[in-house]
Amino acid sequence: MSNAVNEIDVIQTSLLRALASPHRLRLVHLLGEGPREVRDLAGQLGMGQAAVSQHLAAMRGVGLVEATRDGRFVRYGLADPEILEACDLMRAVIVRRLSALGSLAAADAAGATGPGGTTSIAYAIPPAR
């Protein structure tokens, strides 16, 4: 069983590595609205078509996006709608963390300190919903 877990870990690492780019995350969100052609994506991102094609090729290589030929055009879409949901979930975690850190900084600035004059981090992470 540990070999199966290791294989899943390797696959997940590949997927996450392919998403480790602000441009690729933006592509996920744009493709979450529906399939699009490279020229449309390039216009939305303010990037050249070649650069967008390279990002899409990397994402396609790990199974994040699929390409469908429509006449002489190729339209890209998410391979699975849950990819967008996973990215949205991670974004929500980050927003909660930033909010909590902002609250911590505000409490520190206001002089709210714990024992020994340290700011308590216990309230820095809001509970998950």
Mean pLDDT of 52-68: 97
What's the pLDDT band for 1 if we cut at 50, 70, 90? low
Domain match, 46 and 72 both: yes
Q: State which residues form the domain around 40.
A: 2-79
Domain match, 6 and 21 both: yes
User: Over 60: is that where the pLDDT of 113 sits?
Assistant: no
Domain match, 96 and 47 both: no
Q: What percent of the chain has pLDDT over 70?
A: 84
How confident is the model at residue 104, as a pLDDT? 77
Domain match, 75 and 86 both: no
What's the domain count of the chain?
Answer: 2
Mean pLDDT of 85-104: 90
Domain match, 72 and 40 both: yes
Name the helix (H) or strand (E) containing 57: helix 49-61
To the nearest whole number, what is the mean pLDDT of the chain? 86
Domain match, 44 and 103 both: no
Domain match, 70 and 94 both: no
Single-letter residue type at 83: I
- Residue 83 neighbours by CB under 8 Å, 6+ apart: 28, 32, 64
